[in-house]
């Protein structure tokens, strides 16, 4: 079968393809960028990830076939049209998952414990490679605690986030309700 991927765009994956791709890429790290096409503002790193993908696949005629020898592979996962990762790990848009040998090595909103810059991403990929070599993986049943989206937040929570953080979108933890003081708000990610 001929590869129809475009080297200029980071490949997207659906629920139907997910487990098969993860198992086929057993010799490399698979970095999954979780996003929502309904809420693109919730994934501030999209441009950086697209730039990295573009640099890796520059002028490849068959990016998915030629990427087999790369240390890592980048893919996007749209939460608006897929539910597998929501059900499996309770992820939200803006999160990154890194798999190695079909096992989850990393899952978070920030790389390297610090931020979302390219250098943080590269350090995280390096660390995940080392963890994989040492066979240190997250548990197979790993799940984030429940999280709620901005659309599900009540008006009080939205007002407090907007006043305190200038937040007009994004994701918050469910423990915030019932909310009476702005000190009770803990923002995830930004």
Contacts of residue 33, Cβ cutoff 8 Å, sequence gap at least 6: 10, 43, 45, 46, 49, 74, 75, 76, 77, 96
Per-residue pLDDT reduced to its tens digit, 21-33? 898 887 899 999 9
Is a pLDDT exceeding 80 seen at residue 51? yes
Average pLDDT over residues 92-102: 91
Best CA proximity match to 160, nearest among 136, 126, 137, 187: 187
Q: CB neighbours (10 Å) of residue 163?
A: 11
Is a pLDDT exceeding 80 seen at residue 186? no
| CA pair distance 99, 22, nearest whole angstrom | 7
pTM higher than 0.75, yes or no? no
Phi/psi at 80 (5° precision): -70, -30
User: How would DSSP label each residue in 99-138?
Assistant: EETTEEEEEESSBTTTBSSHHHHHHHHHHHHHHHHTT---
| CA pair distance 104, 136, nearest whole angstrom | 9
Give the rounded percent of residues in the chain with a pLDDT score beyond 70.
Answer: 68
Grade residue 97 by pLDDT with cuts at 50, 70 and 90. very high
Per-residue pLDDT reduced to its tens digit, 139-165? 888 888 765 554 555 565 455 444 433
Average pLDDT over residues 108-132: 88
| CA pair distance 105, 125, nearest whole angstrom | 10
> For 94, which DSSP code?
T
């Amino acid at each position: 079968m001929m590869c129809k991927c475009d080297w200029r765009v980071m490949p997207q994956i659906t629920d139907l393809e997910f487990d098969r791709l993860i198992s086929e890429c057993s010799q490399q790290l698979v970095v999954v960028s979780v996003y929502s096409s309904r809420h693109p503002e919730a994934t501030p790193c999209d441009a950086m990830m697209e730039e990295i993908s573009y640099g890796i696949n520059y002028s490849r005629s068959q990016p998915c076939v030629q990427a087999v020898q790369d240390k890592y592979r980048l893919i996007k996962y749209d939460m608006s049209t897929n539910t597998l990762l929501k059900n499996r790990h309770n992820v939200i848009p803006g999160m990154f998952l890194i798999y190695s040998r079909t096992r989850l090595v990393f899952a978070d909103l920030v790389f390297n414990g610090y931020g979302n810059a390219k250098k943080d991403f590269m350090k995280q990929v390096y660390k995940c490679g080392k963890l994989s070599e040492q066979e240190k993986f997250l548990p197979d049943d790993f799940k984030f605690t429940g999280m709620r989206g901005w659309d599900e937040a009540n008006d009080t929570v939205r007002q407090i986030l907007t006043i305190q953080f200038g937040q007009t979108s994004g994701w918050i933890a469910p423990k915030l309700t019932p909310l009476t003081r702005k000190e009770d708000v803990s923002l995830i990610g930004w």
